[in-house]
Chains A and B, each alone.
Chain A
Amino acid sequence: MKRYVIIGNGAAAAACIEGIRSRDAEGEITVVSEEEREVYCRPLISYYLQGKTDEERMRYRDADFYRRMGCRVLFGRRAVRLLKDRREAELDDGALLPFDALCLATGSSPFVPPMEGLDTVPRRFSFMTLDDAAALDRAVGPESRVLIIGAGLIGLKCAEGLSGRAAEITVCDLADRVLSSILDAECAAMMQRHLEKHGIRFLLSDSVGRFEGGTSVMKSGASVSFDVLVLAVGVRPNVSLLKEAGGDVGRGIRTGPHMETSVPGIYAAGDCVEAEDVSSGQPKVMAILPNAVMQGRTAGSCMAGGDEVFDRGIPMNSIGFFGLHAMTAGAYEGDMYEEKTEDSLKRLFSKNGLLKGFILIGREERAGIYTSLIRERTPLASIDFELMKKTATTAAFSADARVKKFGGVV
């Protein structure tokens, strides 16, 4: 009987379990879960703050999942070392887990740059886990002034989650715009205006010089008084287990298309992985749930002898704030097609006869058709791109292509 070990217990791990079970009903699966929780929807922690969901509804899988999948889960345990030659994983309590195939689904951790006086701040939080969100939930009251360091996806979702629950929310970022990893300047300005209308205050192109208890003295000279500090500067893939075992690591863990690392028998999936972005051709850490799930299932299936591949990864995000949604995908390279109004915007980027990327704000209808063009590298010459630019529609495909899409099982 094959022995499988999964380090981590997030969405990639859940998908890995399902991938294994799609091919091997018998093998022994052990999951090492640092968090003392069953798998839950990490990206929902801001909705939890808002009261739009709760712990029960945040379950990623039903309460019977591990039993049904025949898994053993070691809660509150952490892997500290991979003994690759002995094919064992060593845990923090000294236990050794032997494996035939192992998957690293270790995710990422908040990155906290050195900041002078940080230890003088009594109430400071990260915003990554449900425990973080629950702690923040308890710390914030109607009188609270909240300072969030980082105007990226995590920081801004946190700001939205706290909106209406705190007296003041200020977000600062070293970058000159919000959501700088996914939006260009003009699109970012549109989202920022919308966030400001809902009471979020911004300090951009600025960073903390030093903390003095409940005051942050910014490099610009500005001073912000706060009661609660949230650190959402960024995240780093958790790669150390593989790195220390001598495996190939870039910004994230490098894998082949079957999600196997450079160490045979050791696989990786999710936010700890660096994979090819097929829109740009560049290796990237694309830390989003859809990729984590596809990679996890691919890894699991291949660990159990399958030959699935993960080869359509692109960065993509759908992120909404106070009712305004921004959807982004791929690389913003090549020719740009644009439509905009006061409160909506569409930008499509094409190069070498392929759609490479897009930014859609308030224009979400059938956006997945654009995403599929990028992921599947559909030659634009094979569709009516003029029509497609104006409206995301399957009518822009040829009659033959429509027969394939709609005429049978896909």
Chain B
Amino acid sequence: MKRVYVKEEWCLGCHLCEYNCAFANSGLSDMALALKGKPIYPRIHIEGRDRITYAVSCRHCENPICVDSCIAGALSREDGVIRVDQNKCVGCLTCMLVCPYGALAPNENGVMQKCELCLRNACGEPACVQGCPNGAIVYEERGETV
């Protein structure tokens, strides 16, 4: 399956992916309306140190510990994509306690959200990838480990 991968050596640390993510998941069609003057809650974030930066989002693990750990049965794996049912989530943060990548965080209402590859929003495929000015985030197949 296709996943989001980062190329550390190309990442400029510009944080545009975070804005594109927040916009794609806002449900709005005007970026300024969606984001301007508001705190954003993206599902991808830039990490780094010294002169290295890179974007981190859900790895869509083959054996996702977040799904195993969800006390609300809100996280599931569907066709390889790890999804959260926000209607079931109670915001206990157990998934944050266990994700080895730090890839989950709550939205402004304390309900968990995570990268679902933009497959169900208006974007249709990862907005972070489409909007990356330096091609540092890619959406591609890299083989399954089985």
Residues of A within 8 A of B (CB): 15, 41, 43-44, 47, 52-53, 57-61, 289-290, 293-294, 297, 316-320, 323, 325, 327, 329, 364-369, 371-372, 376, 384, 387, 392-396, 399, 402, 405-410
CA distance A402 to B104 in the complex (A): 18
Contact in complex: B93, A293 (CB < 8 Å): no
Contact in complex: B92, A318 (CB < 8 Å): yes
Interface residues of B in 75-123 (CB under 8 A from A): 87-88, 90-102, 104-105, 110
Contact in complex: A406, B54 (CB < 8 Å): yes
Task: List the A residue with the shortest CB-CB distance to B6.
Answer: A406
Q: Which residues of B sit under 8 angstroms from A384, Cβ to Cβ?
A: 49
Contact in complex: B90, A410 (CB < 8 Å): no
Assess A368 versus B142: contact at CB under 8 Å? Given A290-B65, A395-B49. no
Q: Which residues of B sit under 8 angstroms from A318, Cβ to Cβ?
A: 92-94, 96-97
Residues of B within 8 A of A (CB): 3, 5-6, 8, 47-49, 52, 54, 56, 59, 61-62, 65, 68-69, 71-73, 87-88, 90-102, 104-105, 110, 142-145
Contact in complex: B69, A289 (CB < 8 Å): yes
Assess A369 versus B100: contact at CB under 8 Å? Given A41-B72, A327-B93. yes
Q: Which residues of A sit under 8 angstroms from B5, Cβ to Cβ?
A: 406-407
CA distance A376 to B56 in the complex (A): 20
CA distance A121 to B137 in the complex (A): 64
User: Of B65, B73, B105, B144, which one neighbours A41 at CB under 8 angstroms?
Assistant: B73
Contact in complex: A61, B73 (CB < 8 Å): yes
Q: Which residues of B sit under 8 angstroms from A364, Cβ to Cβ?
A: 93, 96-97
A to B CB contacts below 8 Å, 15 in the list: A44-B72, A58-B73, A290-B68, A290-B98, A294-B68, A365-B102, A368-B96, A368-B98, A368-B102, A368-B104, A369-B101, A399-B8, A405-B59, A408-B145, A409-B144
CA distance A229 to B92 in the complex (A): 26
Q: Is the interface of A mostly helix, strand, loop or mixed?
A: mixed
Contact in complex: B8, A329 (CB < 8 Å): no
CA distance A7 to B54 in the complex (A): 48
CA distance A297 to B73 in the complex (A): 15
Nearest CB on A from B106, distance (A): 9
CA distance A53 to B90 in the complex (A): 7
Task: List the B residue with the shortest CB-CB distance to A48.
Answer: B90
Task: List the A residue with the shortest CB-CB distance to B87.
Answer: A57
Contact in complex: B97, A367 (CB < 8 Å): yes
Contact in complex: B100, A327 (CB < 8 Å): no
18 more contacts with CB within 8 A, not counting A318-B92, A320-B91, A323-B110, are: A57-B72, A60-B73, A290-B94, A297-B68, A320-B93, A327-B93, A368-B95, A392-B102, A393-B49, A394-B101, A395-B49, A395-B52, A406-B6, A407-B5, A407-B142, A409-B3, A409-B143, A410-B62
